[in-house]
Chains A and B, each alone.
Chain A
Amino acid sequence: MSQELGIWARYKLRLRRKRLLWRAFRKRREILAISRKTDAIKPKDVLLFATVRNEMQRLPYFLSHYRRLGVGHFLIVDNASEDGSDAYLADQPDVSVWHTSASYKASRFGMDWLTCLMWRYGPDHWTLTVDADEVLIYPDWERRDLHDLTKALDRAGLSAMGALMLDLYPKGPIEDQSYTPGHDPVETLSWFDAHGYWAQRQPKMSNLWLQGGPRARVFFADDPGRAPTLNKVPLVRWHRSFVYVNSTHNALPARLNRVYDEGGLEKPWGALLHTKFLPDAGARARSEKARGEHFADPTLFENYYDGVAANPDLWCPSSVRFESAAQLEHLGLMHRGNLRFDL
């Protein structure tokens, strides 16, 4: 546990965790199963949890990528999609779908719903909690699926793996690109920032706060403190007492956030390729600004919405073209730590 926190502080965290679990329990009736295939879950399956809304652009590739990684079952909450996402998901053989039209913000940005589902289905599974615009990769992912990865993590005594949200973007204004659903988004969004990320410790939950990247560079240059948080803990060996606190940026109990090493060799780290800046990003920003369902105080982020809606070009001369996982590892954005896949 966090040695630097006193007993009282730790007890408050415990209360907070219990409160979040209770809160999720109270919201259990907000979600309604429209296609439940959870009987098919096998004991060693890796489970994927997500909340989606109007993601038809991204879902086909999303599913195919994670199927390739060996996800056993998808448990997805659909938040009142209007573009047929729900029907599409319900048709898939390995996807269970719940529907809700309750407020995204009031459910802690979907986390209450997912906590319910994870409490019920997650324990003793390795669970992956991602958004539809996040594509998880890790060192050697092309050759080693999630079963290999989680086995190696188990062997290394780790119960969670962190990941850096890596914003991908195209060269040129984002709305001028084209993307066909089902294709690898990297074909459209080929560029990323190789440098310009920074970290600081947040002692309260002992997590690192990562910021930087193109969004900090373009939209938050004058106010880096407000730049988006880029650290996530998407892959956790779940237990009934666990709960995500702020999206999947941090979790409780706090030891889950210790996904970095405090002295020696780097710990294993993956990357979540963030496909936010597909051509529909501008339209989404306009509708999200109107809905006001993101961020605790959306008014503070109006400039950000306006910036994304104004069809910006995020590319700059020092942008780097995305090639492979090995490239990210070489740049130090991902790490294999002391993982040994091959034993």
Chain B
Amino acid sequence: MTVGIVMLVHTALERAEQVARHWDKAGCPVVIHVDKKVPRETYDRFVAALADRPDILFSKRYRCEWGTWGLVAATQSACARILDGFPMVRHVYLTSGACLPLRPVQELQDYLAARPQTDFIESATTADVPWTVGGLDEERFIYRFPFAWRRHRFLFDKYTQLQRFLRLKRNVPANLVPHMGSQWWCLTRRTLTAILQDPARKTHDRYFRRVWIPDESYFQTLARLYSNNIESRSLTLSKFDFQGKPHIFYDDHLQLLHRSDCFVARKIWPRANRLYEKFLTQPAGVSGRQEPNPGKIDRVFAKAVQRRVRGRAGLYMQSRYPRNDSKNRVTAAPYSVFQGFSELFENFEPWLAEATGARVHGHLFAPDRAHFANGQTTINGALSDSAVLRDYNPDAFLTNLIWNTRGERQCFQFGPGDNQAINWRIAKDPNAQISVISGAWAVPLYRCKAEFLDLRQRAARLQKIESEHLSVLRSSEVKARVRIWSMADFVEAPMEPLQAILEDIGSETSRRLSEVPRMVDLSGFGQFLQNLKNEGMHPYLMGDFPVEPEEEPAKQAKSPRPYLVR
């Protein structure tokens, strides 16, 4: 008892010959179908080249166009040929010219000999499979498809639309339940004979002749009628890209294919010399490997598809420019925005850098220049600190910065004095973590010794800008992680928010804060706010600061004020 190989070949005939000889050498009879599109002379040469092998036969040639009946007709006649010609054949393995056996043929023979009644054919009902690409799943079975999609795309589309519009549906033959699956199967003689000699074969053939892509459904459906023991999987490893086209294996997939332990893989690039050399010349012995294990290869290719479809988040360039409303993330990595912290704490930036290991910038969107960490004038990716260039396209400045510094957490300060054009972009970015102490912009005003009237005007302007920014941050479209404290609340209990921020950034979460930043001396701040009020300006964003708790807190504030670990 042995396994017979049916090969469907349309190109790269010299590779097909090589593989056919490989099967033949291991004692598997082979029947080859060559596409009718192959010119007569080429075909004759191919036949002549294999004439020395009595167990390699050729079947009647059909014209095989992707998605049409020809492929099934070819398979049928080749299968009939192999069943008639080689009574020793118990399993028939359907392969293509681009298939390559990865394990010694003996192992495949042993594997099938141990499962003499099993049909290996991927077969699932249309409702249950997600793998059809391009929309036609159950419609493949209820409309007619007389036009080839490759050559007559327009007619194909129009005729399908017309049938949809007129609701012309075909009847599926009564005993059939449409199933689909990979067209590379391995069936037992019993099942295959039953399919080919079915008294109703004419009806079946007539129905499937107008089904779309019948090679993925003909045997898959009929096997369900006759087989007692279907293993719904293909023994052939084949991967599909996002458009449903088969992935091609090259020389660099050698290790991956080797470790997959699959029996056969497709599609192999005809000029992948190393692959053919390695797998067709390996020793015939048995290596003791058991089940195919394509897990690793699945992961690699799933990743490739993911990369092709989703791309790399946060990358904007000449050849890839995601739209704002796409599912993609806006930026490449999480980052943190701090508003009001460097105003309220004297040494916030160095402290944060110390505590988290992140790169902590100053006000990146300041009017004079982008204040990069450590006073740098350019940063990764030759991003310049020029305010002109930054304001020319602030979105791009931010996305480039985050992209260029991937792998290192970025934090920066923001405030109502900065360019506000970026607000929506940040607010809608799921990667952004925004922490705001509202009203903290008043602290530098309070500490600077300027004309009070001037201060009052600046305070009014800053408060207006910040309150607009806060309404952005509170809108329902925000996707960023936003935390807002009023300054009064924050000053009351700064430890908890700081701890939470550090946990967000995610370094050394378990440790309690050992050192906290130094808060500026706020004695007299209440009075300063009262003065603003007296001038007719109403500062409200910072919450309530009592005017005259003078004595008590003032003293406290004088002792430099690191909060102690509690």
Binding site for B on A (CB under 8 A): 162, 164, 193-201, 208, 210, 221-225, 231, 259-269, 318, 332-333, 335, 337-338, 340, 342-343
Asked if B321 is at the interface (CB within 8 A of a chain A CB), the reply is yes
Binding site for A on B (CB under 8 A): 242, 248, 269, 271, 307-311, 315-323, 326-328, 378, 381-384, 386, 388-389, 392-393, 396, 400
Assess the B311–A342 pair: CB atoms within 8 A.
Answer: no
| Residues in chain A near residue B318, CB distance under 8 A | 162, 164, 197, 199, 208, 210, 231, 260, 269, 333
Cα A198 to Cα B319 with chains together (Å): 12
Assess the A318–B382 pair: CB atoms within 8 A.
Answer: yes
Assess the A199–B308 pair: CB atoms within 8 A.
Answer: no
Cα A224 to Cα B271 with chains together (Å): 49
Cα A261 to Cα B308 with chains together (Å): 10
Cα A5 to Cα B532 with chains together (Å): 50
What residue in chain A is nearest B316 (Cβ atoms)?
Answer: A199
Given the interface pairs A225-B392, A260-B321, the reply to whether A338 lies near B327 with Cβ below 8 Å is: no
| Residues in chain B near residue A261, CB distance under 8 A | 311, 319-321
Assess the B317–A266 pair: CB atoms within 8 A.
Answer: yes
| Residues in chain B near residue A266, CB distance under 8 A | 311, 315, 317, 319-320
What residue in chain A is nearest B315 (Cβ atoms)?
Answer: A266
Which A-B residue pairs are the 4 nearest by beta carbons? Answer: A195-B382, A266-B319, A269-B319, A266-B320
Assess the A265–B327 pair: CB atoms within 8 A.
Answer: no
Select which of A164, A196, A265, A333 is within 8 A of B308 by beta carbon: A265
Given the interface pairs A196-B382, A338-B308, the reply to whether A263 lies near B396 with Cβ below 8 Å is: no
| Residues in chain B near residue A196, CB distance under 8 A | 382, 384
Select which of B315, B320, B326, B392 is within 8 A of A267 by beta carbon: B320
Cα A278 to Cα B195 with chains together (Å): 74
Assess the A342–B269 pair: CB atoms within 8 A.
Answer: yes
| Residues in chain A near residue B311, CB distance under 8 A | 261, 263-266
Assess the A195–B381 pair: CB atoms within 8 A.
Answer: yes
Q: List 10 A-B contacts (CB under 8 A).
A: A162-B318, A199-B316, A199-B318, A200-B393, A200-B396, A222-B388, A261-B311, A262-B322, A266-B320, A337-B319
Assess the B388–A198 pair: CB atoms within 8 A.
Answer: no
Cα A337 to Cα B307 with chains together (Å): 11
CB distance from B376 to the nearest CB of A (A): 13
Assess the A221–B388 pair: CB atoms within 8 A.
Answer: yes
| Residues in chain B near residue A197, CB distance under 8 A | 318
Further contacts, 5 of them, CB under 8 A, given A195-B381, A260-B320, A264-B320: A221-B386, A265-B308, A266-B319, A266-B320, A343-B248
Assess the A224–B388 pair: CB atoms within 8 A.
Answer: yes
Cα A312 to Cα B307 with chains together (Å): 43
Assess the A263–B328 pair: CB atoms within 8 A.
Answer: yes
Assess the A198–B308 pair: CB atoms within 8 A.
Answer: no
Assess the B386–A342 pair: CB atoms within 8 A.
Answer: no
Cα A195 to Cα B404 with chains together (Å): 11
What residue in chain A is nearest B307 (Cβ atoms)?
Answer: A265
What residue in chain A is nearest B242 (Cβ atoms)?
Answer: A264
CB distance from A220 to the nearest CB of B (A): 10
| Residues in chain B near residue A264, CB distance under 8 A | 242, 307-311, 320
Assess the A335–B309 pair: CB atoms within 8 A.
Answer: no
Cα A223 to Cα B388 with chains together (Å): 8
Assess the A263–B319 pair: CB atoms within 8 A.
Answer: no
Cα A260 to Cα B317 with chains together (Å): 9
CB distance from B478 to the nearest CB of A (A): 23
Cα A231 to Cα B318 with chains together (Å): 8
| Residues in chain A near residue B310, CB distance under 8 A | 263-264
CB distance from B134 to the nearest CB of A (A): 13
| Residues in chain A near residue B316, CB distance under 8 A | 199
Cα A195 to Cα B328 with chains together (Å): 24
| Residues in chain A near residue B392, CB distance under 8 A | 198, 224-225
What residue in chain B is nearest A271 (Cβ atoms)?
Answer: B318
- The CB with the most chain A CB atoms within 10 A, among B248, B309, B392, is that of B392
Assess the B323–A262 pair: CB atoms within 8 A.
Answer: yes
CB distance from A160 to the nearest CB of B (A): 12
What residue in chain A is nearest B381 (Cβ atoms)?
Answer: A195
CB distance from B399 to the nearest CB of A (A): 10
| Residues in chain A near residue B309, CB distance under 8 A | 263-265
| Residues in chain A near residue B307, CB distance under 8 A | 264-265
Assess the A162–B382 pair: CB atoms within 8 A.
Answer: no
| Residues in chain A near residue B322, CB distance under 8 A | 262-263
CB distance from A18 to the nearest CB of B (A): 24
Cα A335 to Cα B396 with chains together (Å): 20
CB distance from B279 to the nearest CB of A (A): 20
CB distance from A69 to the nearest CB of B (A): 20
- The CB with the most chain A CB atoms within 10 A, among B322, B327, B328, is that of B322
| Residues in chain A near residue B384, CB distance under 8 A | 196
Cα A199 to Cα B392 with chains together (Å): 11
Assess the A262–B386 pair: CB atoms within 8 A.
Answer: no
Cα A170 to Cα B242 with chains together (Å): 44
Cα A267 to Cα B317 with chains together (Å): 10
| Residues in chain A near residue B381, CB distance under 8 A | 195
What residue in chain A is nearest B323 (Cβ atoms)?
Answer: A262
What residue in chain B is nearest A332 (Cβ atoms)?
Answer: B317
| Residues in chain B near residue A195, CB distance under 8 A | 381-383
Assess the B382–A208 pair: CB atoms within 8 A.
Answer: no
What residue in chain A is nearest B400 (Cβ atoms)?
Answer: A198
Cα A213 to Cα B39 with chains together (Å): 54
What residue in chain B is nearest A268 (Cβ atoms)?
Answer: B319
What residue in chain B is nearest A164 (Cβ atoms)?
Answer: B318
Assess the A263–B327 pair: CB atoms within 8 A.
Answer: yes
| Residues in chain B near residue A164, CB distance under 8 A | 318
Cα A342 to Cα B12 with chains together (Å): 13
| Residues in chain B near residue A193, CB distance under 8 A | 382
Select which of A194, A225, A335, A340 is within 8 A of B319 by beta carbon: A335
| Residues in chain B near residue A223, CB distance under 8 A | 388
Cα A268 to Cα B384 with chains together (Å): 28
CB distance from A37 to the nearest CB of B (A): 35
| Residues in chain A near residue B388, CB distance under 8 A | 221-224
| Residues in chain B near residue A265, CB distance under 8 A | 307-309, 311, 320
Cα A200 to Cα B395 with chains together (Å): 10
Cα A196 to Cα B321 with chains together (Å): 16
Assess the B321–A199 pair: CB atoms within 8 A.
Answer: yes
Assess the B393–A208 pair: CB atoms within 8 A.
Answer: no
CB distance from B402 to the nearest CB of A (A): 15
What residue in chain B is nearest A203 (Cβ atoms)?
Answer: B323
| Residues in chain A near residue B269, CB distance under 8 A | 342-343
CB distance from A4 to the nearest CB of B (A): 8
| Residues in chain B near residue A200, CB distance under 8 A | 393, 396
